Structure 1
Amino acid sequence: MLVTVGVWVSQAAAHAEPVGPLYRLVDTAAQRLATAEPVAAAKWLHGGPITDPSRAEAVLDAVAADSATHGVDQGYVRRVFADQIDATEGIQYTRFGQWKLEPATAPTAAPDLSQSRTQIDGFNRAMVEEIAQQWDWLHGPDCATVLTDATDDVAAARDLDPLYRHALSAATRSYCPRS
């Protein structure tokens, strides 16, 4: 499954041309969401819970610390990443539900969870950097419009299905605090 995610990322990136200031941030959020597939598979096969409060808190602490080095409000970044974590868990719950209803579709192999977490950590750092670079857009009067455009463009470039489109909207819902 990890290979599938890598192909998905590479193919979409080859076709995607950033068209707005929030495109890279939203695109990285979509790539991070794609890690839900191998993570769900690993948790399914090893009986792990979908929610992992200690891992979530470690992620939130890490992105808050990273945001401080970029001079970005830590509370804002924690809210953004809490939404991202919730959206990722939502995808995992959906997959678990599908696999319970259709056991033949359940994964029989999964990459080691540490591989996915390494990818996630890289996406997190890239997202914090993009948040810092696009701070004025994220807090400007046109944020909602620019975010909608970026979300639509990423969804089209990556050919997101309804689940991932919904998850991407949930993951980005706190990007524009003024709207």
Structure 2
Amino acid sequence: MPRSTRLPYWLACALLGLFAGGVQADKPTPAPDALQPLLATMNERLNISELVALTKWDSGKPVQDNTREAQVIANARKQATQRQLDPDDVADLIAAQIEASKLVQYGRLAQWQAAHKAPDTPRPDLINDIRPKLDKLQNLLLQQYAAFLPYRKDPNCPQWLATERSALIKDHLHGQAMIRATGELCVVSR
């Protein structure tokens, strides 16, 4: 009598379970809820960088402002200590935000110089309007960073960043700036 080539029911179910489990194991874990608000705040900060660039265009002042940068980082270190965060890690995080902001500013200024004009949009005052907003965002950023802290060493952190960050990018320059802004978030050993 010829033997049946069909798998027994129990073996088919077992194999199906193995395959389904294998597919599920390859799926990355979803990003923690703490990541999206942190990235949104970083993104908002970069959008304000466009306004900073307009003030630099109008005033002719350089993008690099060592005195202001040192003040911002010193303030961040102080806030880190008050929040029981590592001051060096926070200084690195804020320095990354500053560098990302400068990327946007240099990029926009170069675009406007090539076009021989900047956008004809209202210019808020750098000292009275923009800097207070940036100071508030820094406070919020540190609060959100503290909430994200437990996830920094997760092996999925770089993938979470890549996925969540991509939804916020509006152009190549902004994308490069977001990569720089988030460069200090994950601490994953290879």
TM bin (shorter chain): 0.7 to 0.9
Q: What RMSD, in angstroms, separates the aligned Cα atoms of the two structures?
A: 1.9
Residues 20 and 146 of structure 1 are in contact (CA less than 8 Å); yes or no, is this contact kept in structure 2? Answer: no
Of 73, 80, 91 in structure 1, the residue corresponding to residue 93 of structure 2 is 80
Does 1:101 pair with 2:111? no
Does 1:66 pair with 2:79? yes
2:93 counterpart letter in structure 1: V
Report the alpha carbon displacement of residue 146 of structure 1 after superposing the two structures with TM.
2.2
Of 18, 22, 25 in structure 1, the residue corresponding to residue 38 of structure 2 is 25
For residues 86 and 107 of structure 1, the distance between their equivalents in structure 2, rounded to whole angstroms, comes to 26
Of 154, 162, 166 in structure 2, the residue corresponding to residue 148 of structure 1 is 162
Q: Structure 1 residues 20 and 152, CA, compared in 2 at 3 Å: closer, same or farther?
A: farther
For residues 70 and 139 of structure 1, the distance between their equivalents in structure 2, rounded to whole angstroms, comes to 20
For residues 82 and 154 of structure 2, the distance between their equivalents in structure 1, rounded to whole angstroms, comes to 22
Unpaired stretches in structure 2, ≥5 consecutive residues: 1-30
For residues 46 and 33 of structure 2, the distance between their equivalents in structure 1, rounded to whole angstroms, comes to 20
SS of structure 1 residue aligned to 2:177: helix
Q: Which residue of 2 aligns with 1:123?
A: 137
Q: Deviations over 1:92-133 (max 9, x none)?
A: 111111121111345575211021111111111111011111
Q: Which residue of 1 aligns with 2:14?
A: none
Q: Structure 1 residues 153 and 105, CA, compared in 2 at 3 Å: closer, same or farther?
A: closer
2:171 counterpart letter in structure 1: D
Report the alpha carbon displacement of residue 135 of structure 1 after superposing the two structures with TM.
0.9
Q: Which residue of 2 aligns with 1:41?
A: 54
Instruction: Using the aligned pairs only, state the percent identity.
Output: 27
Report the alpha carbon displacement of residue 88 of structure 1 after superposing the two structures with TM.
0.6
Does 1:139 pair with 2:159? no
Please identify which structure carries the higher helix content: 1
If you compute each CA radius of gyration, which structure gives the higher value, 1 or 2? 2
TM-score by length of 2: 0.76
Residues 30 and 168 of structure 1 are in contact (CA less than 8 Å); yes or no, is this contact kept in structure 2? Answer: yes
Unpaired stretches in structure 1, ≥5 consecutive residues: 1-17
For residues 154 and 146 of structure 2, the distance between their equivalents in structure 1, rounded to whole angstroms, comes to 14
Residues 39 and 116 of structure 1 are in contact (CA less than 8 Å); yes or no, is this contact kept in structure 2? Answer: yes
TM-score by length of 1: 0.81
